[in-house]
Structure 1
Amino acid sequence: MTTRDRLLGLTVVVLWGLNFIAIRVGLDHFPPFFFAALRFAVMAVPVVLFVKFPRVHRRWFLLYAVGFGFGQFAFLFLAMNHGMPTGLASLVLQTSAPFTVLLGVIFLRERLAPAQIFGITVAVAGIVVIGVDRAGHSSIGVGIVIPMVLTVLAGLSWAFGNIGSRLAQPDDAVRMTLWMSVVPPIPFLALSFATEGPRADLTSLTTLGSSSGLIALAGLAYVVLLGTIAGSGLWTMLMKRYEASRVAPLSLLVPVVGISASWVLLGEVPSGIEIAGAALVIAGCAAGVLAAPRSRMRVSTGESSVRAPHAPRRASPIPLVGQQD
């Protein structure tokens, strides 16, 4: 991974870490599924009208849209609405990184360098340290288990979305990210009407002039413009350019930003153990991303060739998953 692309990855880390603050203030006003529907609907309308659909393998585009757009945020918003602390949510969601690496090995036949395995293991250990400490000090105690499970499911959905974005091989990553927003609104609206009720949705809209409503609108604008368009667009570009196992560990840095922002803006003060765990995450992520890739040998008609793992994998030669005609 080039220095420029590492810096782009770190930019995504900052945008997504602060995104949890924006989500928190949005959920303080809107019902969770309705907030998710709004988040994508305000993007979907101009996208359908003005943005050309990219050249993309459509079945993998749908996997990306359902996993990254619908599943991730359905579970995450529900978890945060049911008491998941903001900083802890930013942490537990990063289970997407090891899930992505595992799915990349299973479905994309990617191989890991020993330093990558070590780095990811250290980073995951840091996440576990922070999670156990935060759960032990949480005011909701054992009741945090269900929100944590929901957040882990959000991480798994994100991982499937990562695999879908890699297999989709769009000609334009930003346009694919924009068109991803067209898929989730209707399922989210259906869930909202069924579980939250039209009255709750209408109340949240008619009270937008209140202080909480104006703050929620600012949160919605951040989530759409910076968290989704900028952050997800850059992330999709990196997932197209590099192996999933090299990009995914960057997301392990998101909770460092999320916990720090929650400390400064929401008063969620981290303990010394959490800070130590964050240091493990940073060290492990650095080892995983900066590790030299492991060369793979291919034998074809009696001769061998070396294929660099960081070179983009095109969808056409992947036999085990099929391809879009």
Structure 2
Amino acid sequence: MKSKDIAVALFVVLIWGVNFSAIKIGFETLPPILFSALRFAVVAIPAVFFVPFPKTSVFNVLGVGIFLGVLKFGLLFIAMKADASAGLSSLVLQAQVFFTIGLSVLLYKEAIGKHHAVGILIASIGFGFFFIESGENITALGLMMILAAAFCWAISNSIMKRMQGVNLLHFMVWVSLIPPTPLLIISYLTETTDPISLFMSSTIETWLALSYVSYISTLLAFALWGYLLKSYPAATVTPFALLIPVVGMITAALVLGERMAESEILGAGLIFLGLAVCVLGGRWFKAKVKVVQESL
């Protein structure tokens, strides 16, 4: 990867790591499905009246809108309300890395280099350390919902990967028009029949959290992520997401007071190492081959 694109990937990781704490703050006064509906409504309106429809199939817009906006975030937000901590949610959701790579190999016949395989293996071991002391931070139902959300995210990644020549900011604006209606209907049937009173009683912290989740985490970060997925193989891009739980747990510890165990710190170190092998392993291998060739 180019140095510029590595910086872009790390910027997205920072945004999404902080995002989980912002979501938890938003849940203090708004129920999860309603919060998710507002997240996308804020992005889409009034922007869709000024942004042209992206140069892609309407089915791509509908696909990402449903799998990312309705299913992924609906499942994630419900789980985070009562069944999973912010830090552990940021971890489990990164199962999307493995789902995305698997779909890319299956659908796009992408090859995985040896350094990718070794790096993902190391990061996966680190990923597992986070579960050692997770018993009080997630329920079985929460785990299943977040894993399902991760698979929906992987499907969305696969749809975005196949698009070429698409303005991704425009794309995300129109994608954001899809989720609000079904989410608002679900919220009305299952959460509240009087959303206006909840809006009026929400705190400034809730609206700040909603603004961050909408404009920074949804519009900006997903547009940048889509650019990276179009530019590089999934096995090169998606391992960066394994850093999200590191940022997520550090942020949750600082902002929400969630505890980081020694096993989680060790896991974070292994994730960093695995990511370094994934991103830089190809360069190391080429450099080693060059040194051997020059010595002969």
TM-score, structure 1 length as denominator? 0.84
Instruction: Work out whether 1:147 is the aligned partner of 2:137.
Output: no
- Displacement of 1:170 in angstroms is 4.3
Instruction: Work out whether 1:272 is the aligned partner of 2:267.
Output: no
Q: 1:65 & 1:115 partners in 2: Cα distance?
A: 34
Identity score, percent: 34
Q: 1:71 & 1:289 partners in 2: Cα distance?
A: 30
The corresponding residue for 2:122 is 122
* 1:29-68 map, 5 Å: 29-68=29-68
Question: Larger helix proportion, structure 1 or 2?
Answer: 2
1:223 pairs with one of 208, 213, 222: 213
Tell me, what secondary structure is at the counterpart of 2:227? helix
- Displacement of 1:64 in angstroms is 2.2
Deviations along 1:267-314, whole A, 9 cap, x unmatched?
112111110011111111221223329xxxxxxxxxxxxxxxxxxxxx
The corresponding residue for 1:300 is none
Deviations along 1:36-60, whole A, 9 cap, x unmatched?
0100011111222110111013323
Contact 1:57 1:167 in 2 (8 A): no
Q: 1:43 & 1:126 partners in 2: Cα distance?
A: 35
Residue-pair matches, total = 283
Deviations along 1:135-155, whole A, 9 cap, x unmatched?
2xx2x6xx6111111111111
The corresponding residue for 1:281 is 271
Q: 2:83 & 2:166 partners in 1: Cα distance?
A: 40
The verdict on how the C-alpha distance between 1:129 and 1:258 changes in structure 2, with shifts beyond 3 A counting, is: same
1:175 pairs with one of 153, 163, 170: 170
- Displacement of 1:133 in angstroms is 2.2
- Displacement of 1:93 in angstroms is 0.7
Letter paired with 2:205:
I
The verdict on how the C-alpha distance between 1:46 and 1:85 changes in structure 2, with shifts beyond 3 A counting, is: same
Runs of 4+ in 1 over 6 A off after TM superposition: none
Instruction: Work out whether 1:160 is the aligned partner of 2:158.
Output: no
The corresponding residue for 2:287 is none
Q: 2:13 & 2:19 partners in 1: Cα distance?
A: 10
Contact 1:178 1:229 in 2 (8 A): yes
Q: 1:153 & 1:289 partners in 2: Cα distance?
A: 27
Deviations along 1:191-219, whole A, 9 cap, x unmatched?
101111313x23311213xxxx2111110
Q: 1:63 & 1:118 partners in 2: Cα distance?
A: 32
The verdict on how the C-alpha distance between 1:170 and 1:148 changes in structure 2, with shifts beyond 3 A counting, is: farther
Q: 2:77 & 2:129 partners in 1: Cα distance?
A: 24
- Displacement of 1:227 in angstroms is 0.8
Relative contact order (C-alpha < 8 Å, sep 6+): which is higher?
2
Tell me, what secondary structure is at the counterpart of 1:198? coil
Letter paired with 2:41:
A
The corresponding residue for 1:254 is 244
Q: 1:190 & 1:59 partners in 2: Cα distance?
A: 22
Instruction: Work out whether 1:98 is the aligned partner of 2:84.
Output: no
- Displacement of 1:69 in angstroms is 2.0
Q: 1:269 & 1:122 partners in 2: Cα distance?
A: 24
The corresponding residue for 1:206 is 200
Q: 1:230 & 1:51 partners in 2: Cα distance?
A: 15
Contact 1:33 1:78 in 2 (8 A): yes
Instruction: Work out whether 1:292 is the aligned partner of 2:292.
Output: no
Deviations along 1:106-135, whole A, 9 cap, x unmatched?
111111001101111221221121023222
Contact 1:61 1:168 in 2 (8 A): no
Q: 2:91 & 2:146 partners in 1: Cα distance?
A: 9
- Displacement of 1:83 in angstroms is 2.9
The farther-off stretch of 113-122 and 283-292 is: 283-292
Gaps of 5+ in 1: 294-325
The corresponding residue for 1:75 is 75
1:188 pairs with one of 177, 183, 191: 183
The verdict on how the C-alpha distance between 1:70 and 1:289 changes in structure 2, with shifts beyond 3 A counting, is: farther
Tell me, what secondary structure is at the counterpart of 1:19? helix
TM-score, structure 2 length as denominator? 0.91
Tell me, what secondary structure is at the counterpart of 1:131? coil
The corresponding residue for 2:286 is none
The corresponding residue for 1:297 is none
